Amino acid sequence: MNNYIILTMRINKKPFKRCPRCDNKCLQTATKCGECGLIFSRLDYATNKAAKEMIKKGDRDYILYTSQLPKDVDYTKLLLYTLFLGLFGGHYYYVGKYIKGILMSAMMVYTIVCVVFNAYLVEALSVLYVPIGIGVIGWMISCIYVICKKFKVPVCIEMTETGGFKV
């Protein structure tokens, strides 16, 4: 009976993982990606704070997007931001995806304007309600990704003053 349990555990375990840099399939036991050379153990030292600083500077060369949450991103906070402030893009601001956050905020402000001035906009153009649906669908997709732990977060290894990586 024990052999049966061990065999089913081996069968159900995924043999592959995806590289966050090049999206190549690698074995679970691999220490580095065979395609791009990324060393997977370095992801343990990557932080979202460093990625936010790099995004603000405009330097996106060393940023990776991974669904493995770094130590400085709390899953509970991310889930709450997505559920309650997701329509305004709060979860995107939390992880440093500022452009998506601005787009979600703009869609929500547009929704509020459409509700307030409903009679005038309905008579003018009914096509103006399309961004409202896009914003709500985007929010629902984000909720599903966060709940399933597939939401991609930008991470980067912190740099020292000399240009090397902190380890």
Q: For 23-58, how does the pLDDT look when each residue is reduced to its tens digit (9 = 90+)?
A: 888 888 888 888 888 888 888 888 999 899 888 888
Span between the terminal Cα atoms of the chain, in Å? 45
Between 131 and 26, residue with greater pLDDT = 26
- Is 4 contained in some domain? no
Minimal CA–CA distance to 82: which of 144, 159, 29?
144
Based on the fold, state whether residues 145 and 157 are members of the same structural domain: no
Report whether 139 contacts 86 (CB < 8 A): yes
Task: Work out the burial of residue 76: count CB atoms within 10 Å of its CB; fewer than 13 is exposed, 13-18 middle, 19 or more buried.
Answer: exposed
- 52 and 98 assigned to the same domain: no
Which structural domain range is residue 110 located in?
A: 68-151
Cα–Cα distance between 58 and 93 in angstroms, integer? 16
pLDDT beyond 80 at 6? no
Query: Is 142 found in the same domain as 84?
Result: yes
Verify that 30 and 40 share a domain, yes or no.
yes
Our count of domains for the chain comes to 2
User: Does the pLDDT of residue 104 top 50, yes or no?
Assistant: yes
Is 12 part of a structural domain of the chain? no
